[in-house]
Amino acid sequence: MCVSAIILFLMSWVAAGWTGNLVADSIERVQVTSPDQRIVMEVWIAQSDDLTWGAQFRVSFAGREVVGPSPLGVEWVGGGQIGSNCQIVSAENRTVCDEFVQVSGKRRQVLVEAHEAVISFRELASPHRIWELALRASDDGVAWRYQFPVQPGWEMLEIAHERTAFRVRPDAQAFALPLKGFTTSYEARYQPRLAKDLPGDWLLALPLLLENPDGTWLALTEANVHEYAGTYLGIGEGAALTTRLAPRKDDPGVALRHPLPHRSP
């Protein structure tokens, strides 16, 4: 039996390789493709119902959409957010290579080649802050992270929530681990449910595995969490999986507080 699979990471790397730049007043769409050309992640700015412009992404595998158009962005402590009402101002593309030694597994020496794009966004309204999204596509999956450079008038990163969502197929078979809270242990059984039947009050642990009716498998996970809030998933409308960041114990209204520059995992 041939199994097709794609993994979405939120994300960790060390890189070197060829670089190319694209700079303009506004770029409509950026695409990154795996070396074998089977996995494609696209990022663009779309107009929403309230006439603001928001960052969105989608992921396809072998010509089949595995994550439909989904929002990107984070919400600040005290109000405001990035991801909506913004524009793409530049994109840097390069080929990268990760090489590392793992303690256990089928291989000791691991070599991963990928194509990368680092996209710079700018708020359309004052204070016109700049933020970045770094994407990677390898033959095994895609990964991305938010990057927040230091800039005049913005020295402290204070995140309340993350707006990233994953619009998976409603008829996908999900293998989910529901938790009672952000401090609950992961020692429980995964429960098989259709994505459309996942209860709206569930808090899901990562990784989350889904099987589409066409035989494509999708795994959502995170890696290299350091000085950032842990990621969980909630259930939104139409089988959309919404990002839930673990709040600080000493200040539940804050998920992350850190000096700039900083980045997500």
Write out pLDDT tens, residues 86-120: 999 999 999 999 888 988 888 899 888 999 999 99
pLDDT on residue 22: 47
- DSSP assignment of 111-149 equals EEEEEEEEEEEEESSTT--EEEEEEEEESSEEEEEEEE-
- Can you give the length of the chain in residues? 265
pLDDT on residue 125: 87
- DSSP assignment of 36-75 equals TS-EEEEEEEEE-TTS-EEEEEEEEETTEEEEEEEE--EE
Task: Tell me the mean pLDDT in the region 210-228.
Answer: 92
Q: Which of 59-63, 109-113, 136-140 has the lowest mean pLDDT?
A: 109-113
Task: Tell me the mean pLDDT in the region 242-265.
Answer: 95
| Assigned CATH for 4-263 | 2.70.98.10
User: What whole-number distance in Å separates Cα of residue 233 and Cα of residue 230?
Assistant: 10
DSSP one-letter code for 224: -
Of residues 61 and 17, which shows the higher confidence score?
Answer: 61
Q: What is the mean pLDDT of the chain?
A: 87
What is the SS3 assignment for 95? strand
User: What whole-number distance in Å separates Cα of residue 244 and Cα of residue 248?
Assistant: 13
User: What whole-number distance in Å separates Cα of residue 68 and Cα of residue 57?
Assistant: 8
Show me where the domains of the chain are located: 4-263
User: What whole-number distance in Å separates Cα of residue 119 and Cα of residue 94?
Assistant: 12
In this prediction, residue 258 has a pLDDT band, given cuts at 50, 70 and 90, of very high
Q: Which amino acid, residue 29? A: R
Pair 263, 145: CB distance under 8 Å = yes
Measuring CA to CA, which residue among 47, 51, 4 is closest to residue 28? 47
pLDDT on residue 13: 34
Unique residue bearing structure tokens 């938010």 = 146
pLDDT on residue 121: 95
Task: Tell me the mean pLDDT in the region 169-192.
Answer: 95
CA atoms within 13 A on the CB side of 63: 0
Indicate the pTM of the whole model.
Answer: 0.87
pLDDT on residue 16: 32
Handedness of CA 256, 259, 263, 265 (dihedral sign): negative
Angstrom CA distances, 98 to 8, 104, 138, 220, stand at 17, 17, 10, 20
Measuring CA to CA, which residue among 149, 150, 154 is closest to residue 126? 154
pLDDT at 17 over 70: no
pLDDT at 210 over 70: yes
